[in-house]
Amino acid sequence: MILDLLRHGETEQGGLRGSLDDALTDKGWAQMRSAVAEAGPWEVLVTSPLQRCARFAEELGEQLNLPVQREAAFQELHFGDWEGRSAAQIMEDQADALGRFWADPYAFTPPNGEPVEAFAERVLAAVERLKRQHAGKRVLLVTHGGVMRLLLARARGLPRAQLLQVEVCHAALMRLVPGGDGQWVEGR
């Protein structure tokens, strides 16, 4: 299976969005349309159920005459009490906690948030299900920055503490292919 990863475009709100179900801006729609304009073809479309991913996936599915598989396991990390707040807002009253999270997200969980270890387990299990279900196919996964950071960090062999150092801009389109050892590697 070839797995293409597409991050959603710009959303109406800023800050840590996590499980908040924000819509795309007009710019966000344009970013995503541009990202896939010269890409593909895909045989399977999979999306996070959050509207910033799913609505674009549905539009693309109609254009390509492909059904869209919604998969809750590909939702963004739930940031708990930090959802909807910018890093600057969190720094005002929880600077130490935010610093600990940025330094090693596996070792520190935002208050009332989802542990990154649990997030990683759900995302990696879902990718393995996709791999079994769609062996030999080219799949587009429309998802979030955190999901892509996780998968790219693993493909690059980065230490867990460096997860948040992986850059994934809005509407980034990246490819993973199976490596010889069964792990994913970045492809072209």
Q: What CATH number is given to the structural domain containing 90?
A: 3.40.50.1240
pLDDT in tens, 152-174: 999 999 999 999 999 999 999 99
For the chain, what is the domain count? 1
123 pLDDT band, cuts 50/70/90, is very high
The answer to whether residue 45 scores a pLDDT higher than 80 is yes
Model pLDDT, residue 163:
94
Model pLDDT, residue 6:
98
pLDDT in tens, 74-104: 999 999 999 999 999 999 999 999 999 999 9
With CA atoms as reference, report the closest residue to 74 among 6, 21, 147. 147
Domain extent at residue 25: 2-186
- Determine the angle formed by the axes of helices 51-64 and 26-37, rounding to 10 degrees: 40
Angle formed at CA 89 by CA 19 and CA 81, multiple of 5 degrees: 35
